Amino acid sequence: MLNKTKLLVLVTLFLTLAVINYAGDIKGKVEAKGVKNNANAVVYIEDIPGIKFNPSKENAKMDQKNLTFIPHVLPIVVGTTVEYINSDDVLHNVFSPDKCAEKFNLGTWAKGKSRSYTFNEAKCYSVMLCNVHPEMEAFIVVLKNPYFALTDKKGNYLIKDVPEGKYKLKVWHEKLKEKSLEITVSKDSSITHDFEIKK
């Protein structure tokens, strides 16, 4: 017997599948010329029209350990809150000079504690700096949807379960020029796109 609850579950499942039509994976390699390795490039789909993407419910985390921001590059969906943890005995003072991050300045806080900032502007490539240690630097890359990937040292990236459609696939790197490519993702397939980026 199909009771009301079961019916509701089935209808919801059907609607979910109908709205988000999961399709293919995008993978490839980014060759970053003139920098020490191919890591920390962000490959992302610029826009997926018609779908509203929520920020991640869990806060993204950036640690400060041994006078270094970890990770060095953190891509997030717009609206996500980033928690800045201090794991050092010394005080840090995280701030961003970027307008799209409202030039925030979080002040200083003790070891084991954290403070946070919510990034509400998409297409914001915001640098994180520390008032106390000029050598500290990191980047928050604020994107419109969760279809992004960070390259490893070899330059490999993988973006999974992208809905089918035509998009702009882009690469961001802190030191190198942005690259953009028109791509088509179709159902149940995997496509490969390699990039070479330089100054």
Residue 132 binds to Cu ion (criterion: CB under 5 A): yes
Residue 84 binds to Cu ion (criterion: CB under 5 A): no
Residue 94 binds to Cu ion (criterion: CB under 5 A): no
User: Beta strand 81-86 with 114-118: parallel, antiparallel or unpaired?
Assistant: antiparallel
Close Cβ partners of 190 (under 8 Å, ≥ 6 residues apart): 24, 25, 26, 27
**Judged by CB, which is closer to Cu ion: 136, or 191?**
136
Amino acid occupying residue 137: E
Answer for which of 62, 130, 149, 169 binds Cu ion (CB under 5 A) is: 130
- A 10 A CB-CB count for 129 gives 19
Closest approach, Cβ 60 to Cu ion, in A, equals 19
Interface characters, 2-41, with Cu ion (x: CB under 5 A): ----------------------------------------
Considering only the stretches 47-55, 132-140, 163-171, 180-188, report the one whose residues sit in contact with Cu ion under the rule CB under 5 A: 132-140
Considering only the stretches 4-12, 22-30, 134-142, 180-188, report the one whose residues sit in contact with Cu ion under the rule CB under 5 A: 134-142
Closest approach, Cβ 56 to Cu ion, in A, equals 26
21-53 burial code (b ≥16 CB/10 A, e <16):
eebbbbbbbbebeebeebbbbbbbbeebeeeee
Nearest to 191 by CA among 29, 27, 31, 43: 27
Answer for which of 29, 133, 179, 193 binds Cu ion (CB under 5 A) is: 133
Considering only the stretches 3-11, 130-138, 160-168, 185-193, report the one whose residues sit in contact with Cu ion under the rule CB under 5 A: 130-138
Residue 144 binds to Cu ion (criterion: CB under 5 A): no
* CA distances for 126 relative to 75, 107, 137, angstroms: 10, 17, 10
12 φ/ψ angles, rounded to the nearest 5 degrees = -60, -45
Q: Which two tokens stand for residue 13?
A: 């499942």
Residue 92 binds to Cu ion (criterion: CB under 5 A): yes
Which residues sit at the interface with Cu ion, rule CB under 5 A? 92, 130, 132-133, 136
